[in-house]
Structure 1
Amino acid sequence: MSHSVVIFSLLALSLLLQLLPGDATTFTITNNCDYTVWPGLLSNAGVAPLSTTGFSLQKGESKSINPPSNWAGRFWGRTFCSTDKTGKFSCLTGDCGSGKIDCSGAGAIPPATLAEFTLDGSGGMDFYDVSLVDGYNLAMLVAPRGGGGPNCSFTGCVSDLNGACPTELKVMSEEEESTVACKSACEAFNSPQYCCSGAYGSPDTCQPSSYSSVFKKACPRAYSYAYDDKSSTFTCKGSPDYTITFCPSPTTSQKASSSDNDDDETPSTPTPSSDVIMNSSMIYEGALDASSSLSTSIYVLHSRLVAGGVAALIAIWQLSQLL
């Protein structure tokens, strides 16, 4: 075998390995609401920031973001946003207080539905959840794509908690005509019992309240209070991609932007039906088993292709040394 053939073979296999699916995670944020949503993004302390910390999504629009490895942080949606005469940007729900569309290192002012992630954490696993601990402002669904593991599945809150919000937790619109968000009991009453602080600062002493139970009943897979870990934390291996969808079950119950065109049709996205997610854990789990099995198969196939490619490169290199 001539050296030119060896070199060509090495280049071909190298190109093949580059075309195989990589380990980098991609977040795709999709707005399925029938109004504009302004996503906010915050990296945890000591973690490299993302390429953007805030932007707008018209209904039906998506945006992809590639986080650095070992990234950890949160996403949320801001609604009822506007810019005043001085150029200050603000939102009625989920505002980060930066005065502009970019949140620039500031988090969501409660109440806000949060999607929280830790990539490549303990054991090389991704950890993620949807949290209502800081309250609720809009429906959200997180869907992994391409990973594997027994707990690698959809999670979120697709119920309209604004409509089911207890009176004492409601955040009303400026005209006091509609509920635009639902506070947590901690924010509403600032009590250690509801905030899981002080004497209630442990899983043994901080138990679900009547208010968190309202959240949990409507959204059984989302965090409803600080120690709601057992049924609300999800994990994936294999560096999957994640789709974060606002309003996975389209609703026309409210308009969060006066500039939106009411005549446009609301696009649908391929997400589990809200009835399945909210009302039937058995059906929901069963529907995800096939997805998890497919994701695991893809992950195993990817690993074997990479391993086979590396082995072939080594074999060609060893052969070239004999020529």
Structure 2
Amino acid sequence: MRISLVISTSLMIQSLLVLIFCQGILGATFTFVNKCDHTVWPGILGTPKLDSTGFELTKGSSRSFQAPTGWSGRFWGRTGCNFDSENGSCATADCGSGQMECNGGGATPPATLAEFTLGSGSQDFYDVSLVDGYNLPMMVEVSGGSGPCASTGCNVDLNLKCPMELRVNGGDACRSACDAFKTPQYCCAGAYASPATCSPSVYSQMFKSACPKSYSYAYDDKTSTFTCSNANYIITFCPSSPPSKQSPKSNGSTDESGTESGSGSFSGSQSGSGSGSLPDSESGSGSGSGSGSMDQAMLADGSWLASLATGSSASNQPSRVIQFIPLMVAFVFFIGSLLKL
């Protein structure tokens, strides 16, 4: 009887340790927060598929999803949506599915994108991209984790600063130059499909000046790609206050708006299909030829090259594994006390 109890208890301890270990280092939790004064309908495109590909997020609400290790994908916020019994469309960043769920559809430009590639036993890579244009302020913040783990995003309403030639629906969104003019120079396509031949445009510089931590064109990796390990992530639409963790800057300090005062370095121009955290097959419906830099920055398994990592501010928050250590110790002592009875 006692032997049976010992074996059963041992199996329970092993199962708990495996569960805690998996929760600690596998994948990440993405939490969406809506601080806008209106409803937002987030869209999700990635592999493997998460619990939802599109949902309603009312003012002041939040919702979380668990993503497995190795997950690669992007998030965005749709606005002005009208769904009748799940069918309908959105005024900006519509995914073309005709439903609230995007079901594999990407964001129709212009759209602010948050892009992630979760490491498989290695660090995560993430960015906020304006390469497909802009429709909502968006910030990505980190919870826990180790490494640089900087916040990134655009905490500025670019719709108020958008040039007339790039405005959509009277100012609901702001197009990229590639999407608006569809020329190789703006899209970094054809003869301009390299950092050496694709120069920044006045439009990409406008985006970069307003939101220095966000991708503004295809070859913006050095100032716009961020890394962290064993972390969870908070994606906030219309953040009303500066993020708690600031990213390091190339020349200066972070100002009160959550953006950097430096303009960063430029080596390319705007592209039309995101900064490239997704493989081409998952890039959605962005315009233009795509990001040339991403083909060089992705390994065969979909992970990012470590050479694109930026930032130097270490995270002071514990990793997901460390957060579970007290629970593990308490459980072991509890089982030990039972065995003595």
Taking structure 1 as the reference length, the TM-score comes to 0.75
Write out per-residue CA displacement over residues 286-308 of structure 1, whole angstroms, 9 at most, x where no aligned residue. xx94xx4323x446845988999
1:70 shift after superposition: 1.0
Cα RMSD, aligned residues only: 3.2
Cα 1:274/1:11, change in 2 over 3 Å: farther
Query: Partners of 1:307 and 1:87 in 2: how far apart?
Result: 44
Task: Tell me the SS of whatever aligns to 1:186.
Answer: helix
Identity among equivalent positions (%) equals 53
What letter matches 1:231 in structure 2? T
Cα 1:303/1:201, change in 2 over 3 Å: farther
Matched residue, 1:246: 237
- Preserved contact between residue 151 and residue 245 of structure 2 (Cα < 8 Å): no
- Structure showing greater Rg: 1
Matched residue, 2:259: 278
Matched residue, 1:36: 39
Equivalences for 1:90-129 in 2 at 5 Å? 90-120=89-119, 124-129=122-127
Query: Partners of 2:95 and 2:28 in 1: how far apart?
Result: 25
Which segments of 5 or more consecutive residues in structure 1 lack a partner in the other structure? 174-178, 251-267, 282-287, 317-323
Query: Partners of 1:160 and 1:101 in 2: how far apart?
Result: 25
Query: Partners of 1:101 and 1:201 in 2: how far apart?
Result: 35
Write out per-residue CA displacement over residues 49-92 of structure 1, whole angstroms, 9 at most, x where no aligned residue. 111111111001111111232110100000011147x9741111
Query: Partners of 1:68 and 1:77 in 2: how far apart?
Result: 22
- Preserved contact between residue 127 and residue 225 of structure 2 (Cα < 8 Å): yes
Write out per-residue CA displacement over residues 211-241 of structure 1, whole angstroms, 9 at most, x where no aligned residue. 0010001000000001111000011112x11
Give the number of aligned pairs. 273
Query: Partners of 1:61 and 1:125 in 2: how far apart?
Result: 29
Task: Tell me the SS of whatever aligns to 1:215.
Answer: helix
Query: Partners of 2:32 and 2:126 in 1: how far apart?
Result: 15
- Preserved contact between residue 34 and residue 62 of structure 2 (Cα < 8 Å): yes
Cα 1:209/1:112, change in 2 over 3 Å: same
Matched residue, 1:263: none
Match 2:130 to one of 123, 129, 132: 132
Query: Partners of 2:95 and 2:9 in 1: how far apart?
Result: 53
- Preserved contact between residue 83 and residue 100 of structure 2 (Cα < 8 Å): no
Matched residue, 2:268: none
Task: Tell me the SS of whatever aligns to 2:43.
Answer: strand
Cα 1:53/1:293, change in 2 over 3 Å: closer
- Preserved contact between residue 148 and residue 299 of structure 1 (Cα < 8 Å): no
Match 1:149 to one of 134, 147, 161: 147
Task: Tell me the SS of whatever aligns to 1:275.
Answer: coil
Matched residue, 2:69: 69
Taking structure 2 as the reference length, the TM-score comes to 0.71
Write out per-residue CA displacement over residues 34-59 of structure 1, whole angstroms, 9 at most, x where no aligned residue. 1000001111xxx3211111111100
- Preserved contact between residue 249 and residue 274 of structure 1 (Cα < 8 Å): no
- 2:160 is the counterpart of 1:163: yes
1:125 shift after superposition: 1.4
Query: Partners of 1:279 and 1:202 in 2: how far apart?
Result: 26
Query: Partners of 2:199 and 2:145 in 1: how far apart?
Result: 33
- Preserved contact between residue 155 and residue 257 of structure 2 (Cα < 8 Å): no
Query: Partners of 2:56 and 2:80 in 1: how far apart?
Result: 12
1:147 shift after superposition: 1.1
Task: Tell me the SS of whatever aligns to 1:147.
Answer: strand
Which segments of 5 or more consecutive residues in structure 2 lack a partner in the other structure? 247-253, 263-311, 337-341
What letter matches 2:56 in structure 1? S
- Preserved contact between residue 153 and residue 234 of structure 1 (Cα < 8 Å): yes
Task: Tell me the SS of whatever aligns to 1:66.
Answer: strand
Matched residue, 2:273: none
Matched residue, 1:293: 315
- 2:200 is the counterpart of 1:203: no
Matched residue, 1:320: none
What letter matches 2:237 in structure 1? F
